[in-house]
Structures are given as structure tokens and as C-alpha cells.
């Protein structure tokens, strides 16, 4: 019994926020990633990734696997939105795989930003879409993949507390395939812009 408890304590110590292993990259890479984050990425994404400008998504508390995948998507240009092209293609291009993992771990370990409230009617309608989908339009519940509280897991991004304007823009980009992801394209095919806005307002209101 004592040794089982001991193992659990050790496992708890080895896993950081979001189950990221702190020892996945070397101490040198961790330190280099932190320097890049605070000197370069922070200009747009804010200190510790808690941006207050809607155009720049919040990265604090985002899942490490998802961040790693997105940096590679910027590098390979599968995110074709005008802002992705203008801001992130150039940012991602010079980063090697180790530094990308280091940056992903840095941001996933930061405390997520608090939510931002908006119109209560929109938030209530958005909550229903998030938890139940829109049966008449064949839209599945978002919570199935993004989790009951919007925290996401692994490759499914955290949506809770993200800026509403950014979320809406991504939903439209999936719809038009500017951001080319089959699963989210299918989900947004018959989701009206009004419903996209409602679900985005609801998600933006969710805290850590």
C-alpha cells in the first residue's frame, strides 16, 4: 500500500498541468522556449499567453499536443486564414520541433485567463448548442470532443475563456475550409453564423 501511494505521488510530481511530462524536453530547451515566449510571442499573445486583444488567441492552459499540432499547421500552411498567414506562418517557420514542444509545454502550464461575459440570452442559447448540439441541423454536441467544461484534451483544443471574436472567426474558417480540418468542417457545414456567435459567446464566458 505504501509503495502504491509513493508511486502515485511520484507520478503526480512528474506530470505538470494538463498531464504534460515536465521532462519531455531538456532543461536547455525549456529555458530557450521560455525566453522566446516572453520576448517574442508575448508581444501579441500577452504575458503568460493571457492575451487581452481578441485578434490574438489566448494560449494559457491550452493543451500541449494541440499547440504542437497548430505550430506544424502554420509551418505547412494548412491554416490559410489571412491572420494566420500574416502573423503565424513567419513566426512558426524558423522553429524546430524541440522548441515547438518546449513552447507548447510552457503555455499549457500557464493558468488560463478568466472568462468574459456577454449577452445572457446568447450565452444561454450557446450553452444548449455546446451541450446538446442542434439535432434538426445534424450538428453534434461540442462537449463530446471539447469536454463538458470546454477544457479539451490532447488534440481537442481548450475553448473555455478564449475570445469570442477569435472563436467565431475560426468557426467561419472551418466552414469555408480556409482552415482545412475535415472534422470541424463537417460540424460547421450547417451551423448558422448566429449559432456560431452564440456558442462562441458562451465559450468565452467560461473560466478556468
DSSP H helical ranges for 57-192: 64-76, 82-83, 89-92, 97-108, 120-132, 143-146, 164-176, 182-188
**CA angle 57-30-106, nearest 5°?**
25
Q: Least distance (Å) from ligand HEC to the CB of residue 106?
A: 8
What's the full length of the chain, in residues? 208
Q: Least distance (Å) from ligand HEC to the CB of residue 83?
A: 4
Rounded to whole angstroms, the Cα distance separating 130 from 78 reads: 26
Q: Least distance (Å) from ligand HEC to the CB of residue 5?
A: 36
Residues that bind ligand HEC (CB under 6 A): 36, 40-41, 43-45, 55-57, 59, 67, 69-71, 79, 81, 83-84, 87-88, 91, 103, 129, 139-140, 142, 144-146, 155-157, 159, 162, 167, 169-171, 181, 183-184, 187, 191, 199
Query: Residue 22 or residue 87: which is nearer to ligand HEC going by CB?
Result: 87
Query: Residue 22 or residue 32: which is nearer to ligand HEC going by CB?
Result: 32
Q: Identify whether the C-beta of residue 160 lies closer than 8 Å to the C-beta of residue 143.
A: no
Query: Residue 8 or residue 119: which is nearer to ligand HEC going by CB?
Result: 119
Q: Least distance (Å) from ligand HEC to the CB of residue 185?
A: 10
SS3 (DSSP) at 15: strand
Amino acid at each position: 500500500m505504501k509503495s502504491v501511494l509513493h508511486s502515485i505521488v511520484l507520478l503526480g510530481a512528474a506530470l505538470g498541468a494538463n498531464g504534460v511530462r515536465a521532462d519531455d524536453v531538456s532543461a536547455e530547451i525549456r529555458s530557450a522556449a521560455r525566453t522566446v515566449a516572453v520576448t517574442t510571442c508575448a508581444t501579441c499573445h500577452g504575458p503568460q499567453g493571457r492575451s487581452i486583444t481578441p485578434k490574438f488567441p489566448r494560449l494559457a492552459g491550452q493543451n500541449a499536443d494541440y499547440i504542437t499540432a497548430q505550430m506544424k499547421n502554420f509551418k505547412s500552411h494548412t491554416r490559410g486564414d489571412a491572420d494566420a498567414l500574416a502573423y503565424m506562418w513567419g513566426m512558426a517557420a524558423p522553429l524546430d520541433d524541440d522548441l515547438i514542444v518546449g513552447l507548447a509545454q510552457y503555455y499549457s502550464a500557464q493558468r488560463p485567463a478568466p472568462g468574459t461575459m456577454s449577452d445572457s440570452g446568447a450565452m444561454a442559447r450557446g450553452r444548449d448548442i455546446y451541450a446538446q448540439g442542434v439535432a434538426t441541423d445534424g450538428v453534434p454536441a461540442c462537449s463530446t470532443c471539447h469536454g463538458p467544461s470546454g477544457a479539451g484534451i490532447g488534440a481537442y483544443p481548450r475553448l473555455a475563456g478564449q475570445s469570442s471574436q477569435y472563436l467565431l472567426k475560426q468557426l467561419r474558417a472551418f466552414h469555408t475550409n480556409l482552415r482545412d480540418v475535415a472534422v470541424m468542417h463537417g460540424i460547421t457545414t450547417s451551423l448558422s453564423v448566429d449559432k456560431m456567435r452564440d456558442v462562441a459567446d458562451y465559450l468565452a464566458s467560461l473560466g478556468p
